[in-house]
Structure formats: C-alpha cells, structure tokens
Amino acid sequence: MELLFLGTSAGQPSKSRNVTATALKLLDERNEVWLFDCGEGTQQQVLRTTLRPRKITKVFITHLHGDHIFGLPGFLASRNFQASEEEGQTDLDLYGPVGIKDFVMTALKISKTRLAYRIHFHELSESGKIFEDATFRVYCEPLAHTIFCLGYRVVENDKTGELDAEKLKADGLPFGPLFGRVKKGEVVEYEGKRYAPADYIGGDIPGRIVAIMGDTRKSDAAVRLALGANVLVHEATYEAKEAVMAKKHGHSTSRQAAEVAQEANVNRLLLTHVSARYVGPLATQLAQEARQLHANSFVVKDFYEEKV
C-alpha cells in the first residue's frame, strides 16, 4: 500500500504544484490503484509516473469544486485507450457527491466521447460504509467546507497471524501440505498427535488505515475518520496566523490539521492542498507549525510517495 501525490496545490496550479489528485497504490494487495480527486492536468501528472490508467479501478471525489474534478472527463476519455488485446478494458467505480454523475455524463455527451468500459456511479449524501470486500472497507463522512465535501477512510481487513513453522516442525509435523492445512485453520492429526491451529498461529495482524480528507475546516468528522490511522492526508491551505481566513473559506491551517492528527492519534500526518503563496521556506514553515503539535508531520510535494 503506497500513496502517490499527483497534485498538491490549493485552488489553482502553480509552477511547482498541480491541483489535487492522490493515488492509493494497492498493487500488491489487489493489483489496483484508487484515485482520490482528479484536478485539471491529472492525466499529464500520471504520464510522469509508472501508473497505468487502466489499473485505476476506483475514483473517489471529495467535492465538486473545479480544482478537484476538472481533470476527470479528460482522464476518463484517455483511459479509454489504455486497454490491451491481452488484458482488455476494465470497468470503473466512481464515488462522489450528488451531481458527479451529471458532471461526467454532460462532459462526455457534449464532447461525443464514447467509452469502451462502464462507469458505475455511486453518489453519496451521508456518512457510512460505501465499499467492502475480502481485503478492504471504505467509509465516508461529510466534512466542513463551503459546499458538500467528503472525507474517506480506507481500512485494510485484518490478516491471519503468521504460522510458527519452526514450532510445528519441532513438535514432529513434517514440512509439506500438512503445514498448509494448519495455516488454513484445520486441526491436523499425524502419528497419533493432534496439531491445533490455535497453538501454532499468532494473533491477527491489524490492517492498515489511511484517511484522506477533502477540503475542510477543522472538524470532528475528520477526527472520526482518522482515528488510529497509519497515515492521515489532510489539507493545510494556510499557515497558523491565517486561521480567520481559513475558516472563512472553509479550509484549515497546518496547525489545525495537526490538531486533528493529535486528537485522532494518527501515526503520520501528510499535509497537502497548499496555497500557492507558500513556496520554498514558507512551505517548510507549514510543516514546522504542524510539528509543534504532531511531531510526525510532513508537507508533501507533487510525486512524493509514501509507503503505508
């Protein structure tokens, strides 16, 4: 599980930052990539990475402001050409606030764009679990922005503990298929001895948690979504002294993002959605302000990757 930041600027692109888009690479876990927001120019950013657009099977939109969705029609159209004869094309699930379907379908209709794959729209209007399978669960909750905006919580399901192969071997079970049966949870009997999985398999390994916020003032919803997360991705549009402006425009300061991380007891805070006014040392200052409350905080740049 890895995060790849394709765009980290607030509102408009700058010379060093594109507008918001974050890829969650789940290649080892499920051979997929999930995309969170898709600002203008996202497909150009993708071209500068090793990402394959057809691997992006889910897109999660936080809200309908242009710097988070204007790249979506172009990305969806370009993805149309990414299929191979061997692999074919894959459908895409698109999650987002009510209105995202109209936006996409209108753009495709007016531009007479035909897709060789199907988009499954999931329009969201309230809190809850929006996806679950054998490996992951995804939750969303409205945040506190100037329009309806969502934050997302991605939870990896717990994994079965490790098999103590050395103990099994020492207790007389020959290495081979019988080990696999114990690992699967079966009680194995061999030469009059009983081998119970509970005696040889460690406790479940907790799944990892990633929380990705949309634009928001400091909010209790963000804290709930981030509880115990390995990584919290939170906007930091302004520095601490601009708290009044941040509140007026529905955004957070870096210090407020750190307050969320501290209250939610997250391990790592990654600050993004940075105003174009903060370049060089000024961007470093945002991180320094956050670290006064949450030591493990970092301001990300475009193409920064973080292994979770």
The residues annotated with a catalytic role in the active site are 67
Token readout for 223 is 């804290």
Report residue 248 as tokens.
């007026």
In the block, which residue shows the tokens 């509970």?
198
Q: Is the Cα torsion angle 235, 241, 242, 246 positive or negative in sign?
A: positive
Q: What's at 257, amino acid-wise?
A: A
Task: Compute φ and ψ for 233, nearest 5 degrees.
Answer: -100, 115
**Cβ contacts of 148 within 8 Å, gap of 6 or more:** 63, 64, 97, 98, 125, 142
Q: Alpha helices of 184-269 — where are they, by DSSP H?
A: 220-226, 243-248, 254-264
Rounded-to-integer distance, Cα 275 and Cα 255, Å: 15
